[in-house]
Amino acid sequence: MEHLKKQVRIVPMTSEHLDEVAALERVCFSDPWSRNMLAEELANEMAAYLVALDTADGSVVGYAGLLVVADEGYITNVAVRPESRRGGVAGALLDVFVSFAEGNRLAFLTLEVRASNYGAIALYGSRGFRGVGRRANYYEHPKEDAIIMTREFGDDDHGDEAPNGDAAEGGL
């Protein structure tokens, strides 16, 4: 696991975080989820949402969401404030979901990412996710394909490490 450059505390998202998370959505996404949509997801028993709180001031610097159905996990959103990116925040959020998936014997975690979001694709690849498909014109504003990335889990899962111990690279 990488060393966090930004010191954060990962906690379950509550209604107290909704205003900050909705503001983060507007900063990070061209089609942001509304505060009401986020509140509905908090009430969804199949969903888990986490926030990364800055240890210095308690503000929300990132968040991530996960839907679980049977033994399948779908990562809905991962967002980090632009000034906190490349500080390990998204990786810390993902690590919680990967640990959850392993501990609860999920078959896989999957997500979509903009085809041009090379930084996110590299991050997901470093966590064992692999490109498994493409959704044409999935995103609007601007219109762009999504890369479907999945990490499968099984009894012999060890993080998909390459023979030299580095995480194997993902690709399509």
Active site residues: 112, 124
- Secondary structure class of 132 (helix, strand, coil): strand
* Residues 74 and 104: beta-carbon distance below 8 Å: no
Strand partners, 131: 149
Token pair listed for 113: 């990412």
**Amino acid type, 18:** L
Q: What is the largest CA-CA distance in the chain?
A: 47
Task: Give long-range contacts, CB 8 A cutoff, 24+ apart: 158-162.
Answer: 159/128, 160/128, 160/130
Total residue length of the chain: 172
